[in-house]
Structures are given as structure tokens and as C-alpha cells.
Homo-oligomer: A and B are copies of this chain.
Amino acid sequence: MSKETKAKSIIEPKVLKGFRDFLPSMEIPKKAISNKLETHFSSYGFVPIDTPVLEYTEVLLGKGGGETDKQIFHFNDNGGRDVALRFDLTVPFARFLAQHQQELALPFKRFHINKVWRGENPQKGRYREFTQCDFDIVGVDNAEADYEILSMMDSSFSVMGIDNYEFHIAHRGLFNAFLSHLGLLEESVEILRTVDKLRKIGEEEVLSQLQDITGDLQKAKAVLSYISKEDEQEGFLATLDRLSLLAGGETEHTNRMKTIYSYLCSAGIESHFTFDPSITRGLDYYTGIVYETFLTEIPHFGSVCSGGRYNDLASLYTKQQLPGVGSSIGLDRLLAALEELKSPIVSSASSSDVAIFNSDASLFATYDKVAREMRQQGLRVDVYLQNKKQTAQYKWAEMNAIPFAVLFTEDDLQSDTLTLKNLINRETYSSISIKEAIAYIKKDIH
């Protein structure tokens, strides 16, 4: 092949619209967060599962198809099967539960952190490929399970180093009791979809749509009044009492919420939770508590962790009723939020703790020996693999955000010492032992 032909045949390196690469500066913090979450979920006895990326389209969409259909990546495989990329982790989990119920011990607590795909039009911050982090407790319908999910959500945010967050919680059962009391239960799905848009379209538009749905301005006003929190200072239990009254009196849902709240108080975390009747979640499979999570410094980011209780998740695939409660974190959105908050977890994407600079190719075995010893002590150590100009090596260390460099002077080689440079503040430690160097670095990075 002539050079010219070769040049012409180069393919433009590009990714699909709505897809993206994760460079180390983003993938390092993404992994750090998901590792922290996984360790934390494990500390609650939650276990990881994984499911195929591709499934039968019918299994994912049900026989009807419907709304989601347009947004799904689906095609016929070589065997003529209609297959699709999963669009969430909830539906595959429901299928998984139905398929493996004999192999699982209930209550079953699982987490699943992985990618999902939707064909929706990409916008700022919205991608066609994104990572979800789901965690659920299945097989038990009580306040203890509801509380445990909330408790684990709360400690997860601490573990991620996020201080300012607030959980907005409501109860779908209570809302349904209220609609039933008004004689609007038949219209509940439409009403839910409408009130879920409150933050987006505002009170006036919601009222107008509710009037269209109910055909009754008084009822529309009553619904709007239920979902509005008139008094920001109203406490959790006061809101609960007021709503119960609107729903025609105390119900099992009122008691459930009271018990959950008592556990939150016992754990001393009740101040992170607010009763917010505007939270309804659009999806109609929720039956109990529902919640969203807002970062109080950047509320415009919307909810970064949402979910609730459902009491018949796997009904598409099995006659056995499997109640559950769960939650989902959009990991990419959370990462973007942490970036906006300038969280240390996002900004500290160094490739190593220390670089061993290369000033003499014949000394490579020495460099390697020092690197191995430092790695033994838990440091991340990068040996520069070529004898290039010092300026090139400094630049490379800077691009990789490596905070320390090791160099060897003639004296160092004679006396079995080394020279350590702090690349951030430019301090130099001359003629120190490898042990001293390790201690300096560890002290600095922790």
C-alpha cells in the first residue's frame, strides 16, 4: 500500500452522539465513588449482582411496549431474535428475581452499579449511555425495611464526603387514600404524572392540568393544596397529621410513617429528612414511601437519589408477590454535581502518589527496586520509563497530577539515599532514606 493510499484510508476516531469516553480525570473519581458505595452497601449486608446488557425486547418492555419503546436501543440479532439494551436496572432486576427465586434467600438485599442506555435526544448533562446505582430490599413489607433503605442512603452521602443534602419523603399510599377520599382514585395515574411536574411547570399550570383531569376546580385545588407545603417550618409529624386528616383520617400508612420516623430519630438522623407531599414520583408502581434527594447547595441539579416502595415489582414474570423498597442514584449526574461542588473526590485524580524520574537508563533496575519497595508500603508509584529531558518528565508528572518525584544524585547513589521533591510546593528533601521518603509522602497524601 502506498503512503498516500494509507493516509486516505484513515478512519475518523469519534464516538456516537450522546456517548462519551471517560478519561482518567473522570474515570478515577467515578471508580472512587462507586468503590466507596459498594463497600458501604456491603457493610449493610447488601450483595452485588449483574445481569446481561442485552435482553429479549419482550422481557424488557412487556408485551405492550408503549412509551419507553421509542427510547430503547433494540434490533434483531443474527438469530432473528428481537433484542434490546436494558434501559434501567429495575426491569432486569424484576426478571432476575422471578427467574432465580429458588436460589435466593428472602429478604434479599442487592445492589447493582452499571450502565443503561436510552435513545432520548442528548442535552446538556444527559447522555444515551449512563451509569445507574440501584439498591433494593426485596421480600419484606414493613417499616424496618423502609427505614433501612433511608438509613443507608443517609450514610452513603456521608461516605461520599457530601455534607449538605436533604431527603424529601412522602407516602404514595397516603396520597392514594387522599385521592380516594376525593373520589379521584380512577384518575390517579394521570394526576401523579401531573403533580410530578410541579417543580418543572409551576403551580398555575399544574392546577390547570388538574382541572382538565378532574373536571372540577375545587378538587383540583384540593390536590394542589395537598402537595403544597404551606409552612416550611412545619415538622415531619405535623405534616403527617395534616395530610392524614386531608385523606380522611389516620390509616395504616400514617402508622407506617410514624414508625419509620421513630427509627430515624433513634438513629439521630431525622434532621436530614423532610416530609414533602409534592414528592409523588411519576411511576405508578410505587405503593408506599417515595423520596427524592437534593443537594442543598445546588438544588437546581434536581434529585440525585430517588425511589420508594413497590409491592409487586416482578408481576410481569411471576405470580409470586415480591414486595420491595429501593433507590437509584444516577452516578454520572452525581459526578457532575460533585464537580460543581468542587468536591475533593473529583479534583484529586492523580495517577500516582510518586514518580521516579529517569536520568540514566542504566539505573533502571535501581528505580524499579525503589518502586517495588514503595509499592509494598502501599504507595502508588510510577517509574518514568525513558531517559528523557527533566522538563519532559516534570511536565508529564504535572499532567498526571502526581504530587511527588524521586531523583537520584551522585551522592544518593553512593550512600543509598534519594532526593524527594514535593511537586506542589517545590520543597526538596535531600539525601533521605527510602523509609523517610515513604513517611513524608504518606503524611502528605493522607
Contact = CB atoms under 8 A, between A and B. Distances in A.
Given A53-B115, A105-B400, A351-B47, A148 B383 contact: yes
A379 B43 CA distance: 6
A109 interface: yes
A352 B42 CA distance: 7
A446 interface: no
Contacts of A27: 47-50
A333 interface: no
Contact of A364 (B48, B117, B263): B263
Interface string A3-30: 0001101111111110111111001101
Interface in A49-64: 49-56, 58-59, 62-63
Contacts of A6: 315
B49 A395 contact: no
Contacts of A263: 364-365, 368
Nearest to A19: B52
Contacts of A148: 368, 383, 385
A142 interface: yes
A440 interface: no
Interface in A95-122: 95-96, 98-100, 103-107, 109-110, 115, 117, 119
Interface in A192-208: none
A427 interface: no
B58 A385 contact: no
A78 to B, nearest CB: 5
Interface string A285-316: 00000000000000000000000000000111
A145 B46 CA distance: 41
B13 A59 contact: yes
B43 A386 contact: no
A418 interface: no
Contacts of A400: 45, 47, 105
Interface stretch (A69-77, A211-219, A403-411): A69-77
Nearest to A38: B31
A51 B53 CA distance: 15
Nearest to A103: B23
Contact of A81 (B16, B23, B378): B16
A429 interface: no
Interface residues of A, number: 110
A381 interface: yes
Given A20-B52, A100-B23, A11 B316 contact: yes
Residue of A23, A55, A318 with most chain B CB atoms under a 10 A cut-off: A23
Interface in A246-299: 262-263, 266-267
A352 B47 CA distance: 9
A364 B144 contact: yes
Q: Which of A100, A145, A382 has the most CB of B within 10 A?
A: A382
A390 interface: no
Contact of A10 (B10, B100, B147, B317): B317
Given A21-B99, A23-B49, A43 B318 contact: no
Interface of A: 6-7, 9-17, 19-24, 27-28, 30-31, 35, 38, 42-56, 58-59, 62-63, 70, 73, 75-79, 81, 83, 85, 95-96, 98-100, 103-107, 109-110, 115, 117, 119, 129, 137, 140, 142, 144-145, 147-148, 151, 262-263, 266-267, 314-319, 351-352, 355, 361, 364-365, 368-369, 372, 375, 378-386, 395-396, 399-400, 402
Nearest 9 A-B pairs (CB), nearest first?
Answer: A45-B382, A75-B75, A105-B399, A24-B47, A19-B52, A13-B99, A22-B50, A13-B317, A45-B352
